[in-house]
Amino acid sequence: MSKLHYSQFYIGVCTLAALATMANINMASDNLIIVLALAVTFLGLPHGALDFAVAKSLNLVTSVSTAIRFVTIYSVVAATSISFWIWVPDIALVLFLCISAFHFSADWRATMPLFSRVGLACTLLCGPSVLYSATLTDLFTALLLTTQAANWVIQGMQITFYIGLCVFLYFIIQLPIHKKSLSVWQYSEWLTLLLSSIILNPLLHFGLYFCLLHSPKHLQDVGVKLHVSVKRAIAISLPFVILTIVLAAGLYELFASSNLSADLLRWIFIGLFGLTMSHMLLIHLWHGAD
């Protein structure tokens, strides 16, 4: 599939989800969390499976010893990040949102300048705070934040949403002035992202973007650069997916409470934070080397 096909599929699924939401057809929160966990595992994790190949392309891995060193550093960064979240979850969440905005903004490197795409990324990340502040409070407290800290973060997200939206709209207004033309599908993708962030349940919005748009596009970008097909990349990712399931099962036995959905939610996002730190640092180096 091409990037256009990924965008079209994402737009179609989001449209159906929005129609279902407006018709008051909503999935139970517990079921939504379970679906998100499965989607992140099988659709989200593969987009980081080529990190080792990226490291090789940057000459960070040239021998067995450097491979061991890379894996060790990658794992230590992830583990340290997870420990940091458990220690100071409010600061870690803010850091996660900031890093994610910068990382996700790379999805539009080819079509937008840095400031504008960061504005769009901030908008899609912070949009749920506009209509779903109560839902976000519940989600953030499940992620170990106090209610007061969660409310502060949400207020910051609301401010960031409007700032990001203004920056993005300024970019859109400037396009005709600079005589730049983009495809209808690109505009449709951006509009879908904005509406999804406001209309859809925050978990559904994040899951659809992360699993159906960001992950496959990133996987294709890396695959093209490294001459690896998407099918090959998925095959490479299978051991990581299986390992994740095994580790998750082990952690569940050790740390699970009676609330399965809260446990899943907590470790999905805290685990993503750890992996994102390692992944983003590597991809930042890779983009800088382009």
Binding site, by residue number, is: 47, 103, 214, 218
At CB < 8 A and 24+ separation, what contacts does 148-152 make?
149/89, 149/90, 150/90, 152/90
Rounded to the nearest 5 degrees, what angle is found at the Cα of 94, between the Cα atoms of 50 and 149? 140
Region of residue 59 (phi > 0: left; psi between -120 and 50: alpha; otherwise: beta) = left
**Residue 163 half-sphere exposure, CB side, CA atoms within 13 Å?**
11
Residues in binding site for Fe cation? 47, 103, 214, 218
Secondary element (H or E) of residue 65: helix 64-87
Give the Cα separation of 108 and 141 in Å (integer): 32
Give the Cα separation of 201 and 21 in Å (integer): 8
Give the Cα separation of 136 and 127 in Å (integer): 11
Say if residues 118 and 105 touch (Cβ distance below 8 Å). Answer: yes
Three-class DSSP category at 183: coil
Going by C-alpha positions, the residue among 199, 212, 183 that lies closest to residue 7 is 212
Residues 6+ apart with CB under 8 A from 196: 14, 17, 18, 124, 127, 205, 208, 209
Structure tokens at 40: 């992140």
